[in-house]
Chains A and B, each alone.
Chain A
Amino acid sequence: MLASLLQHGAGTAGHAAVAAGAAAEAFGPATAGWLLAVPLLPLAAWVVQILVGRWLPRQGDWLPTGAMGAAAVIAIWHFVKVLALHDPEFDLAAAVELPRWKFFFSDPSLTTGLAGFSAGILYDNVSAALLAMVALVSFLVHLFSVGYMQGDSRYNVFFSNLALFTFAMLALVISDNLLFFFVFWEIMGLCSYLLIGHLAADRKEPKMSAAWASMKAFMTTRIGDICLFIGMMMMWKAFGTLSFRELYAAVEAHVAGHGGDWSPWLTGAGIMMFLGAVGKSAQFPLHVWLPDAMEGPTPVSAMIHAATMVAAGVYLTARIYLLLSPTAQLVVACVGGFTALFAATIGITQFDIKKVLAWSTISQLGYMICAIGAGGVAAGLFHMLTHAFFKACLFLGSGSVIHGCHHEQDMRKMGGLRKKMPITYLAMLVSTLAISGVPLFAGYYSKDTIIAKALERGLAEGGLIWALPFWLLVVAAAITSFYMFRLIFMTFHGRPRAHCSEHAHESPWTMTVPLIVLGTLAVLGGKFWLLDPLGAFSAGGEWFTELVHDPVHFVDHETAHHAHLTAMGWSLAAAGGGIFLSCLFYLWRRLDPARVAAALGACYRLVYDKYRFDELYLATVVRGSLVVSHLAAWLDRTFVDGLVNAVGRIMAGLGTASAATDRVVVDGAVNFVGEATAAAGQRLRRLQTGRIQQYAYFTFAGAVVLAAVVLYRVF
């Protein structure tokens, strides 16, 4: 049963050999060098920028941007080669000799434990696509930042951090083992900390809220990171390897060895590793950091939300999918589905343009996670890619709006920007259509696949609990299209509602070019239908799902096709319903959102306050830790140190006592003799007046006495 579930594709050995030969032809021996150059270029840029960036012309902004551009070219060039191969089983390691780095111990004679560990490059269809996407989006964000961050007091620092961030993500994508994955994962954590807190160290007006947000982001994700580390240790203890490929094989063998049953600890390890993704991809319950991360400059938000940080969580979940037991998969699917809906509801109520986008990101990440949990690894990754395009576009667009409105972020003060910022408007509209799942746009294809996969899995497993993800996603889809169009209508339609939006202006080319590129990708990134417009509506043909196959198929082809149609129907209905409702409220103004909010009362407040999770965590986790730490410090001061001091005092007391005994008894006797002598002397010395005449008296008196004694024998 399980063996059939775990079969990878349908290729025979002969087919694989042919494919490897083709791959070897396409990728020369220098490929490893080129691939390593992709992350190393931004790394080099970072090193230069951090050391001498300040003294370079234009504070060196061209350096990371240029390096990113070059990296993007290399990544895309290789990705095109991979596309051309069109081999679902493509793996560079099978075709070309790849270098390995014996990281901990370079001495080859040492092989015990981690000494046997070596890191290598993983370049298959997924990494290829992701590498190209990350490099491209990061390059565009860099370009956008050149315009957006102009005049920032730490301009050079910003670019260096951005470069390091990109390096970490690019390196993570091509890591072939959990440990290096974790390393770059954490470096991203550092970069997100530095970038979210960028304005907290601003030389002109430092923002304390940014400091708190950055710390919150780092700490929250670190909780997840530690869980990932624990999961990693569990795997390492059991199988003695950290390489993804070896782990897949080891787990498969382990499960097969136990008669197809998954050991409970494997489920536990899977969930622990997944918790890492929960932290990084801001899934419930570790989602709280992401909305606050909006304190960072907008390009950073785009970077975190589209290309790097949160995508890493999804990528991790996809990479460890084969290590997840069915129970763990259910957990993953339910967490994802719940997050998708949960975050979407909050998105409705927010007014800050970036906050709305932040919640929409959490919600969309929920989709991806849910898809992977449901077995649709390809679907989840596909959505991650398309989402990267349109979410980056939305964030950069919002950045453009904020830039145009002189750093106003409240949508209630915007409106009517359509005419003043046409390029921004168009790019954002296209992206909104994509995120809502409107046909022809990229998001439609990926989202549709996700919902279909959730349905498939629900059908395959049966039961209520496995049906849950599908319905959660459908409802979330409706809400998504509602709040996204709310954003568009409030920002770009109607009349300007405040001074700042009246004087808005379109942004410079460095900011609009990325918007145009990303907007185009938001349209065509899912399926390139320009050459074949009719094919846009037929099922199948998406480049990504053709390139990347799910490792496990739960239903047969017939059922899958059927499920796909049902899902498409539901998702179209949800999207349409959402958009329609949004028009009613915000475009045609037939309904007044304020009155609906008032009618909902406390419910609305609760959602508006993000279900008060911040307060909950503040009261429990944060306060709890602080109380414990103060308690510990107090204990240490009073008890542990007190004990030491008490011992010290007792010792000192004993010393005093023994000294006293010594003084009174032993020394006393000696001293008594001495003192008695001294006292006698004291008395007698009064006789010694120093007057010679007196002495003469005494002499005479003595003589008289002596005479008396001698003469009369008186004594």
Chain B
Amino acid sequence: MLTDHLLSLITFLPLVGMVLILLIPKDRLGAIRWTAAAATGVTLALSCWLWFGPFDAAIGGIQLRESAPWIPAFNIHYTMGVDGLSLPLVFLSALIHFVAVFASWNIKKQAKGYFALLMLLEVGVNGVFLALDFFLFYVFWEIMLLPMYFLIGIWGGERREYAAIKFFLYTLAGSVLMLVALVAIWLKSGGMSGGTFDLLVLQEMARNWAADPSTFLGMKFTTWIFWFLFIGFAIKIPVFPFHTWLPDAHVQAPTPISVILAGILLKLGAYGMLRINFPLAPDAFHHFAYALAVLGAINIVYGAYVAMGQTDFKRMVAYSSVSHMGYFLLGAAAWTFTGLNGATLQLFTHGTSSAMLFLIVGVVYDRLHHRNLNDFGGLGKRMPYYMGLSIVGMFAALGLPGLSGFISEAMTLMGSYQVYPVLVIVSTLGILMTAAFLLYAIQRVFLGPLPEKYESVPDINGREAFCMIPFAFLCVLVGVLPSLILDKMGPTLELLRDQLAAVVGG
């Protein structure tokens, strides 16, 4: 009974939380926080149950499908479903939002509005991962955009308006391109006479589009929609050269929002590529895969180098995200089974490790009120537990075996090496630089003599540890037992890979 509408529950429970929060008087902070925690907590519990309960790993395709007519005039349906690609990301989203609530415990300024927006954000994110109707997908995509704008623009740092507007405009530009593609696809699929937004149906139709030789302004239809969708999603990932909103947004956003941004929002773009972009334009993807792989390699190396050149702790971590998301693009472009699994796992592992890194930055910022790497030092002496957790997070990020980052990076690189050996070898430079800047950061923050002014800095408290430990645990768990996740993803990704191979004949 519950399983019939499980996906809708996971998506809309936070909305219930939001309504409840809006009903609570604004000065009852405790009630607001606990309502938020309860709403996200139940969502997390449901997504755990989804993982271990009704989800059948052996099925590669869509499961637990829900469908109902929504706007019959345009053949728009409310269709939800889950498969091995979205399952880990839904779980990650639920976890990150749950942790974000606790990471937001200290927010006093207009807390009611803050938590309400946070809930709305989770609705959007979960909806994007579970929607199977392109129109529904787009609606959730836009729902998610709005709270993010306000969360950065109201609760951010000194230059929050600039960052928020930059974020908003960038993402909106992407959305507009996606909207154009959405309409084009709908018209192509039949428009008012039989057009559809159902992604599964569209994927089937895409085979015919690929075979259609007619062009518009010198490019095939699939090429057009491929690039429109790609740029739309690439901005979100973010792919070089569309990445500059990310550091600004991260630096200005409050810690929990940075955690959400790096942990889950960046994955939406990647998810969109795998779910919509590549399957709907398989021939174009095949044709431009090398360009995508080059972009991925640029992301990896360039992001790592730029991160090395930062003095702001948070900016450095933000650029490390740019670098790490490059692995996804590289592995996805290679489209081998190993590379694809590695790339998708990278979404999960980066979600955990980057969330942890931003929590780490948040802890030190809360205590010392600055983020200048050159002005720290010796904190390991006063904050040994914090140092221990930070080392787990940072080494997970730099791809140390035994921690999650290694599994995904190794799989991505090994899978991509089958197709693009030179690019992979170039990318290894990024691995080296990642190690360099993270170790240099550890050194500047934790090691050496402790300056007098930081003599009374307290170690992390229970709440902060509670936020970090789930991620640290996941970093270790996935690093040691990657099959826990890979078994769930494998069949779906194999199906996905075969679908595309069937179109391009590879």
Does A206 contact B414, Cβ atoms closer than 8 Å? no
Pick the residue among B381, B395, B446, B487 that contacts A107 (CB under 8 A): B487
Does B428 contact A190, Cβ atoms closer than 8 Å? no
Report B-chain residues with C-beta under 8 Å of the C-beta of A179: 410
Tell me, in angstroms, the Cα distance from A643 to B242 when the chains sit together: 10
Does A186 contact B400, Cβ atoms closer than 8 Å? yes
Does A113 contact B337, Cβ atoms closer than 8 Å? yes
Q: With A236-B414, A640-B241 given, is the CB distance from A113 to B338 under 8 Å?
A: yes
Tell me, in angstroms, the Cα distance from A625 to B309 when the chains sit together: 10
Chain A window 350-372, contacts with chain B (Cβ cutoff 8 Å), 1 for yes, 0 for no: 00000000000000000000000
Q: Whose C-beta in chain A lies nearest to the C-beta of B345?
A: A104
Q: In the complex, which range does the number of interface residues on chain B fall in? A: 35 or more
Q: Is B415 an interface residue (CB 8 A)?
A: yes
Contact residues, A604-658 vs B (CB, 8 A): 625-626, 628-634, 636, 640-641, 643-644, 648
CB A289 to nearest CB in B, in angstroms, measures 13
Of B58, B407, B410, chain A has the most CB atoms within 10 Å of the CB of B410
Report B-chain residues with C-beta under 8 Å of the C-beta of A197: 447
Tell me, in angstroms, the Cα distance from A223 to B406 when the chains sit together: 16
Tell me, in angstroms, the Cα distance from A102 to B446 when the chains sit together: 38
Q: With A201-B387, A641-B244 given, is the CB distance from A110 to B490 under 8 Å?
A: yes
Name the segment of B278-286, B355-363, B430-438 touching the other chain.
Answer: B430-438
Q: Is A237 an interface residue (CB 8 A)?
A: yes
Tell me, in angstroms, the Cα distance from A452 to B455 when the chains sit together: 61
Q: Is B151 an interface residue (CB 8 A)?
A: no
Tell me, in angstroms, the Cα distance from A115 to B491 when the chains sit together: 11
Chain B window 397-421, contacts with chain A (Cβ cutoff 8 Å), 1 for yes, 0 for no: 0001110001100110111011001
Report A-chain residues with C-beta under 8 Å of the C-beta of B415: 113-114
Q: Is the interface of B mostly helix, strand, loop or mixed?
A: helix
Pick the residue among B58, B401, B428, B449 that contacts A208 (CB under 8 A): B449
Q: Is A215 an interface residue (CB 8 A)?
A: yes
Report B-chain residues with C-beta under 8 Å of the C-beta of A625: 305, 308, 433, 436
Q: With A107-B57, A648-B169 given, is the CB distance from A219 to B338 under 8 Å?
A: no
Report B-chain residues with C-beta under 8 Å of the C-beta of A222: 431-432, 435
Q: Whose C-beta in chain A lies nearest to the C-beta of B440?
A: A215
Tell me, in angstroms, the Cα distance from A637 to B380 when the chains sit together: 32
Report A-chain residues with C-beta under 8 Å of the C-beta of B240: 640
Q: With A190-B395, A215-B439 given, is the CB distance from A110 to B491 under 8 Å?
A: yes
Q: Is B191 an interface residue (CB 8 A)?
A: no
Q: Is A12 an interface residue (CB 8 A)?
A: no
Does A102 contact B381, Cβ atoms closer than 8 Å? no
Q: Is A112 an interface residue (CB 8 A)?
A: yes
Q: Is B113 an interface residue (CB 8 A)?
A: no
Contact residues, B338-359 vs A (CB, 8 A): 338, 341
Tell me, in angstroms, the Cα distance from A105 to B395 when the chains sit together: 23
Q: With A206-B447, A223-B432, A640-B244 given, is the CB distance from A115 to B306 under 8 Å?
A: no
Tell me, in angstroms, the Cα distance from A106 to B486 when the chains sit together: 8
Report B-chain residues with C-beta under 8 Å of the C-beta of A206: 378, 380-381, 447-450
Q: With A219-B432, A625-B433, A641-B244 given, is the CB distance from A201 to B447 under 8 Å?
A: yes
CB B117 to nearest CB in A, in angstroms, measures 25
Q: Is A588 an interface residue (CB 8 A)?
A: no
Of B58, B388, B418, chain A has the most CB atoms within 10 Å of the CB of B418
Tell me, in angstroms, the Cα distance from A230 to B337 when the chains sit together: 19
Q: In the complex, which range does the number of interface residues on chain A fall in? A: 35 or more
Does A628 contact B482, Cβ atoms closer than 8 Å? no
Contact residues, A213-256 vs B (CB, 8 A): 215, 218-219, 222-223, 226, 229-230, 232-234, 236-237
Q: Is B425 an interface residue (CB 8 A)?
A: yes
Q: Is B494 an interface residue (CB 8 A)?
A: yes
Tell me, in angstroms, the Cα distance from A643 to B240 when the chains sit together: 13
Report B-chain residues with C-beta under 8 Å of the C-beta of A232: 414
Pick the residue among A211, A226, A237 that contacts B443 (CB under 8 A): A211
Tell me, in angstroms, the Cα distance from A398 to B384 when the chains sit together: 31
Report B-chain residues with C-beta under 8 Å of the C-beta of A226: 428, 431-432
Q: With A114-B414, A237-B418 given, is the CB distance from A107 to B483 under 8 Å?
A: yes
Tell me, in angstroms, the Cα distance from A205 to B240 when the chains sit together: 44
Q: With A102-B483, A114-B411, A632-B302 given, is the CB distance from A233 to B424 under 8 Å?
A: yes
Contact residues, B79-95 vs A (CB, 8 A): none
Does B483 contact A105, Cβ atoms closer than 8 Å? yes
Does A237 contact B411, Cβ atoms closer than 8 Å? no
Does B433 contact A203, Cβ atoms closer than 8 Å? no
Q: Is B336 an interface residue (CB 8 A)?
A: yes
Contact residues, B297-334 vs A (CB, 8 A): 302, 305-310
Contact residues, A150-195 vs B (CB, 8 A): 154, 179, 182-187, 189-190, 193-194
CB A637 to nearest CB in B, in angstroms, measures 9
Does B169 contact A636, Cβ atoms closer than 8 Å? no
Q: Is A77 an interface residue (CB 8 A)?
A: no
Q: Is A34 an interface residue (CB 8 A)?
A: no
Does B482 contact A104, Cβ atoms closer than 8 Å? yes
CB B332 to nearest CB in A, in angstroms, measures 15
Q: With A113-B415, A641-B244 given, is the CB distance from A103 to B482 under 8 Å?
A: yes
Q: With A187-B402, A219-B439 given, is the CB distance from A636 to B306 under 8 Å?
A: yes
Chain A window 118-129, contacts with chain B (Cβ cutoff 8 Å), 1 for yes, 0 for no: 000000000000
Tell me, in angstroms, the Cα distance from A50 to B472 when the chains sit together: 14
Chain B window 261-302, contacts with chain A (Cβ cutoff 8 Å), 1 for yes, 0 for no: 000000000000000000000000000000000000000001
Tell me, in angstroms, the Cα distance from A154 to B436 when the chains sit together: 25
Pick the residue among A102, A633, A643 that contacts B309 (CB under 8 A): A633
Does A182 contact B338, Cβ atoms closer than 8 Å? no
Q: Whose C-beta in chain A lies nearest to the C-beta of B407?
A: A104
Q: Is A567 an interface residue (CB 8 A)?
A: no
Q: Whose C-beta in chain B lies nearest to the C-beta of A216?
A: B439
Report B-chain residues with C-beta under 8 Å of the C-beta of A109: 58, 491
Does A230 contact B425, Cβ atoms closer than 8 Å? yes
Report A-chain residues with C-beta under 8 Å of the C-beta of B424: 230, 233
Give me 16 other A-B pairs in contact (C-beta within 8 A), A219-B435, A640-B244 excluded: A113-B337, A179-B410, A182-B401, A183-B402, A189-B400, A194-B391, A201-B446, A201-B447, A206-B380, A206-B448, A208-B447, A212-B443, A222-B435, A223-B432, A233-B413, A625-B305
Query: Can you list 11 contacts pairing A with B, beta carbon distance less than 8 Å?
Result: A102-B483, A103-B483, A104-B407, A110-B491, A110-B494, A189-B400, A201-B387, A218-B439, A222-B435, A234-B417, A625-B436
Closest 7 CB pairs of A and B: A633-B309, A113-B338, A629-B308, A183-B401, A106-B483, A211-B447, A632-B305
